[in-house]
Amino acid sequence: MNLNDTARTTRRFFLIAAGSSILAACSSGEEVLPERLERIKPSETPVSPLVPGTVPIDFRTISGEGFKVSIPAAWKDSMKPAGEETPPAYLFDAQDRPADSPVRVGVVIDADPKADVIEQSHVLEVSKTAAGVEDVTRSLITWPGTTRAVLIDWSEAAGGSSGAEYRTRQLMAQVSSKRIINVVATAPATEFETLPMNEILATFVVVP
């Protein structure tokens, strides 16, 4: 699974999602959603839990625009500038991987959301299902510093010669009506749970 393709696809669908105004809300307590969001609110339980965690001793912390995330010390970090259809992305890659079996975490910042994170995640879920993905799950979770957050999880064949099954976990964090931060972890499906993908996701922190 190519993170750049994911960012491009999700951004394109974001632009065609309903552009109605975003209702500010507090993630603690019961929230009354507008009807358009209540109809498509995520209701599934995550495949595996994801909650904020402590930073492992062998990780290093990367600070970006409005966030911090920690990665294994040996991983490479880089920055992909904004493109015509894609926002800027912070990329973190495991080293010493086969060329046809990369492992990556990326952070993509949507600084001009056209829709609420519930709507965006719904459009992403629909697009993946339409493409033949059968195991998409979408869950509403609590994350510090967000008005609300959605965790979406799926597996699909990677591009390229290997055709290996890749799993993607995407944390979509609505920080405000003007900012959504996407943290995307992708790795071979058979290795995802043994690699530090969930540990990295758990270190994500929203910085005011």
Q: Let me know: does 27 contact 36? Beta carbons within 8 Å.
A: no
CA distance 6 to 186: 10
Q: What is the pLDDT of residue 16?
A: 28
Q: pTM here? A: 0.81
Q: Let me know: does 177 contact 117? Beta carbons within 8 Å.
A: no
pLDDT tier at 15, thresholds 50, 70, 90: very low
Q: Which CATH architecture has domain 3-206?
A: 3-Layer(aba) Sandwich (3.40)
Cross-strand bridge partners of residue 137: 153
Residue 93, number of CB atoms within 10 A of its CB: 16
CA distance 36 to 39: 6
Burial class (CB in 10 A: 0-12, 13-18, 19+), 113: buried
CA distance 166 to 101: 9
Q: Let me know: does 154 contact 169? Beta carbons within 8 Å.
A: no
pLDDT over 80 at 61, yes or no: yes
* Digit-coded pLDDT (tens) for 68-112: 999 999 999 999 988 887 888 999 999 989 888 999 999 999 998
pLDDT over 80 at 6, yes or no: no
Greatest Cα-to-Cα distance within the chain, rounded to the nearest angstrom: 49
* Digit-coded pLDDT (tens) for 144-201: 999 999 999 999 987 655 678 999 999 999 999 999 999 999 999 999 999 999 999 9
Measured in residues, the chain has a length of 208
Q: What is the pLDDT of residue 135?
A: 93
Region 112-131: mean pLDDT is: 91
DSSP the chain: --HHHHHHHHHHHHHHS--PPPPP--SSS-----HHHHTT---PPPSS-----PPPTTEEEEEETTEEEEEETTSEEEEE---SSS--EEEEE-SS--TTS--EEEEEEESS-SS-HHHHHHHHHHHHHHTT----EEEEE--TT-SEEEEEEEEEE-SSSS--EEEEEEEEEEEETTEEEEEEEEEETTTTTTTTHHHHHHT-EE--
Cβ contacts of 159 within 8 Å, gap of 6 or more: 1, 2, 5
